[in-house]
Amino acid sequence: MVTAALAANAVQPVPGMPLSVPTFLSGWLTAELAPQLLAATVADAGIRVARGRIRSRADVAGLALAGVSATALTAVVTAGRGARAEVESALTEALGSDCRTVADRPASDGAVPWRQLAWPFRMRRADVVRVRNLAYAPGGRRFRMDVYHRRDTPTNAPVLLQIHGGGWVTGSKDHQGVPLMLEMASRGWVGAAINYPLSPRSVWPAHLIAIKRAVAWLRENAATYGGDPDFIAVTGGSAGGHLAAMLALTAGESGLQPGFEDADTSVQACAPHYGVYDFAGETGIKAVRQRVQSGLMPLVLGKQARFPEDYEAASPLAHLRADAPPFFVIHGTSDSFIPVAEAREFVRRLRAVSVNPVAYAELRGAQHAFDIFPSIRSITVARGVADFLDWVHAPRGHGRGRADADAG
């Protein structure tokens, strides 16, 4: 019964704010561990039948529920495998039909790494080195960075900055973005995963200021680890997606760089995952209005924050610009915390003003935080993000406008 309920929630999450946390936790783990749960369900039912343990009506009912669970989990696995087509479609639409021939390296082959999925929480690669806890600014452990690079230490490699989520009040560089960091480092990129100050101890814009300090540090020090200080991309999930978008959209705003106003904190590409884009609720989306009116916003913005001025100042939708770097926005249709409609509206408005490509992959059945550990879906998305970033970095991809991409 429990397995059937979990599988049903993964197929169609229970809506509503009061249940969003348990709905997310159960749906997220079930959806991304669906192959393992499916194998366990089929094996358990098979063993019971083989041993002749189906005798009573309760046994028959249990076997029937196992069949329901297996059917639902198969649908979840199928949805996860569908991420490949969704990502491919997003890249082709935004970058042009020849996008696979522009990047410096061949695109991913799309094969499912079943051996890696057998041990989803063992996140390491033999060819990748992780240098831990480098201080990018004074202030203790919340100003620390982990650098990932290929063991042979490439030279002049593009850099990807990873910003963790956690609702601006929790989270760590150790627990998010690791699969993508490993994928990028294995491809020859340099990855940088950071901590930043958290609310309520620190209020907006302390989070973004710290991230800009990290970019400035990378511009000065990335070469030590093989990185190219002239090409830095940014990614992040949830609150990290919001901060990644804000970093990409506020280049050159000196008020967000106190004491280092002259530092170059621009980024050359942005790939936010299931991010928050409307801080002021101006899209009118019900779930967004509920978030804006919740107790979370005063924790992040401070109790003295004025509505709507201070809320809009922290909202990516209020910072859209024609010279925004190329974006690859990723969001799941089953997200229990941040509605997919918010991502759609952000993409629609950004595309209306930006001269650079804006790719958008909407992942059917994906929950919030689907990319925390390797799964069929998260591995596919990591490869797609890597292909997108390779395209932007390639000589013919970097700096091309949307019209050029459409012309192919």
Of 189, 308, 327, the C-alpha closest to 246 is 327
Q: Check: CB of residue 97 under 8 Å from CB of residue 394.
A: no
| Alpha helix ranges (H) inside 278-339 | 286-292, 296-301, 309-313
Where residue 107 falls among pLDDT bands split at 50, 70, 90?
A: low
Where residue 101 falls among pLDDT bands split at 50, 70, 90?
A: low
Q: How far is it, in rounded angstroms, from Cα 197 to Cα 141?
A: 9
Q: Check: CB of residue 390 under 8 Å from CB of residue 96.
A: no
Q: So what's the pLDDT on residue 407?
A: 42
Average pLDDT, the chain: 91
Residue 84: its H or E element: helix 83-95
For domain 83-407, the CATH architecture is: 3-Layer(aba) Sandwich (3.40)
3 state DSSP class of 51: coil
Q: Check: CB of residue 354 under 8 Å from CB of residue 346.
A: no
Q: Which whole number is the average pLDDT over 48-77?
A: 90
- pTM of the model as a whole: 0.92
One-character DSSP codes across 180-234: HHHHHHHTT-EEEEE----TTTS-TTHHHHHHHHHHHHHHHHGGGGTEEEEEEEE
3 state DSSP class of 393: helix
Q: Check: CB of residue 258 under 8 Å from CB of residue 205.
A: no
Q: Is the pLDDT at 54 greater than 70, yes or no?
A: yes
Q: Tell me which residues are annotated as active site.
A: 238, 335, 368
Q: So what's the pLDDT on residue 154?
A: 80
Report in angstroms the alpha-carbon separations of 344 from 244, 277, 285, 327, 370.
Answer: 17, 10, 11, 13, 18
Select the highest-mean-pLDDT range: 98-102, 368-372, 396-400: 368-372
Q: So what's the pLDDT on residue 372?
A: 94
Q: Is the pLDDT at 295 greater than 70, yes or no?
A: yes
Q: Read off the pLDDT of residues 316-328 as tens digits, 9 standing for 90 and up.
A: 999 999 999 999 9
Q: So what's the pLDDT on residue 235?
A: 98
Q: Check: CB of residue 308 under 8 Å from CB of residue 339.
A: no
Percent of the chain topping pLDDT 90 = 77
Q: Read off the pLDDT of residues 373-392 as tens digits, 9 standing for 90 and up.
A: 999 999 999 999 999 999 99
Q: So what's the pLDDT on residue 25?
A: 83
Q: Read off the pLDDT of residues 157-184 as tens digits, 9 standing for 90 and up.
A: 999 999 999 999 999 999 899 999 999 9
Tokens found for residue 176: 């998010």
Q: Read off the pLDDT of residues 232-273 as tens digits, 9 standing for 90 and up.
A: 999 999 999 999 999 999 998 999 999 999 999 999 999 999
Q: How far is it, in rounded angstroms, from Cα 283 to Cα 345?
A: 8
Q: Is the pLDDT at 122 greater than 60, yes or no?
A: yes
Strand positions, DSSP E, 218-274: 227-237, 269-273
Residue 133 main-chain phi, psi, to 5 deg: 60, 50
Where residue 401 falls among pLDDT bands split at 50, 70, 90?
A: very low
Q: How far is it, in rounded angstroms, from Cα 324 to Cα 270?
A: 9
Q: Which whole number is the average pLDDT over 282-308?
A: 95
Residue ranges of domains in the chain? 2-80, 83-407
Who contacts 361 (Cβ-Cβ below 8 Å, separation ≥6)?
83, 86, 87, 89, 90, 328, 329, 330, 331, 381, 384
